[in-house]
Structure 1
């Protein structure tokens, strides 16, 4: 398996506690993650389900919590069966969130790892997360005002 990763960073105008809720509560994820709600207990090994409807497309992704330090970091796997890929480990994406409190904001680092060697898929993921991060920032700015 050839591991590839992208690392992206954004400063959110919010506390770590608020930023953590943004990442883990479906009331927020639905606003920035292409109308998908996340469902999980956020316990180590628990399932992570993303569900929603985006522009007529029925979205569904599944995975598991791989590592968690509430309020600090989270790593989960995710697989979208709608892309026609086989449900095998190398087709799962690993997503990591790392939060660091700065003065007046939270630095959020997001790392996406793929294992299938597909550079086009990685470019698609990068583009999607750029859109997601812009929406995250807008949500936190609106809540701050």
Structure 2
């Protein structure tokens, strides 16, 4: 099976890289931008990351490993979801990479998801990520004004 489908999105945020990074690694913020999921990790490279919650009345547990963590610059982790219906095998994990780069008076936050198994699932990711980034932007910009 070919697995080279990639999804990416980005958003400009009028805030510091410190503020954006804080949202990426905050369980409270993640619960808002990941649609109610409880995210748990210590964010150290090699550590586990878990996402638990409910979707359409069904409990789910997603998991991965922190692959790279460069505070205020980049966060990358693997991600596997039991909702996908694929076995929990290394080849079924996607990689989610968040990058923070200076832009104008703020930053550009971008995300790339790779190892997506099908074009249809890539299209679904293309719909998912702009909403996540938009919510991160709202969280960070509202907290920066407070």
Same fold (TM over 0.5): yes
Aligned match of 1:127 = 127
Please tell me whether residue 24 in structure 1 is matched to residue 4 in structure 2: no
1:59 aligned counterpart, secondary structure? strand
Distance apart, 1:54 and its partner CA? 4.4
CA deviation profile, 1:31-54 (whole Å, cap 9, x unmatched): 111111211111111001112234
CA distance in 2, matches of 1:13, 1:56: 36
Aligned match of 2:48 = 47
8 Å contact 1:36–1:59 — kept in the other structure? no
Q: Relative contact order (alpha carbons < 8 A, sep ≥ 6): 1 or 2 greater?
A: 2
8 Å contact 1:35–1:54 — kept in the other structure? no
Give the aligned CA root-mean-square deviation in angstroms.
1.6
Aligned match of 2:93 = 92
Aligned match of 1:111 = 112
Aligned match of 1:142 = 142
8 Å contact 1:11–1:107 — kept in the other structure? yes
2:134 aligned counterpart, secondary structure? helix
Distance apart, 1:8 and its partner CA? 1.2
**Equivalences, count:** 144
CA deviation profile, 1:82-141 (whole Å, cap 9, x unmatched): 32211112221100011112332111111110253x111111111111211121122223
8 Å contact 1:114–1:122 — kept in the other structure? no
CA distance in 2, matches of 1:136, 1:78: 19
Unpaired stretches in structure 1, ≥5 consecutive residues: none
TM-score, length of structure 1 as denominator length: 0.90
CA distance in 2, matches of 1:46, 1:113: 20
Unpaired stretches in structure 2, ≥5 consecutive residues: none
8 Å contact 2:49–2:66 — kept in the other structure? yes
TM-score, length of structure 2 as denominator length: 0.89
CA distance in 1, matches of 2:23, 2:38: 11
